């Protein structure tokens, strides 16, 4: 453990940030998993909600913009074949 006052604050700050980052990434992954597994009419709503979560993660710096774009692209691809099969 550090003895210097600023280092003690750094440890506390780092711990808080790490917990916040882990929670945000966990929320993101849960949302993406939910959007992938949802079928039927709820799929559209799940995709819309997941895209909001992805955009928020990009905005807050939890993931890179290209990573977010890749997630969104792959999720919207899962929507299109279902629409094509129905038509």
pLDDT at residue 79, rounded to an integer: 79
State mean pLDDT over 62-77.
96
Domain 5-86 CATH class label: mainly alpha
pLDDT at residue 1, rounded to an integer: 86
Q: What is the pLDDT of residues 11-64, one digit of tens each?
A: 999 999 999 999 999 999 999 999 999 988 899 999 999 999 999 999 999 999
Tell me the domain boundaries of the chain. Answer: 5-86
At 78, the pLDDT band (50, 70, 90 cuts) reads confident
Q: Own/partner pairs for 54-63, CB < 8 Å, 24+ apart?
A: 54/28, 57/24, 57/25, 57/28, 60/24, 62/21, 62/24, 62/25, 62/28, 63/25, 63/28
At 87, the pLDDT band (50, 70, 90 cuts) reads low
């Amino acid at each position: 453990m550090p003895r210097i006052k600023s280092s003690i604050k750094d440890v506390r700050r780092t711990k808080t940030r790490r917990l916040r980052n882990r929670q945000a990434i966990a929320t993101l992954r849960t949302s993406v998993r939910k959007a992938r597994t949802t079928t039927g009419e709820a799929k559209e709503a799940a995709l819309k909600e997941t895209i909001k979560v992805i955009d928020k993660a990009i905005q807050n710096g939890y993931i890179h913009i290209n990573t977010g774009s890749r997630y969104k692209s792959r999720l919207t691809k899962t929507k299109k074949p279902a629409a094509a099969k129905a038509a």
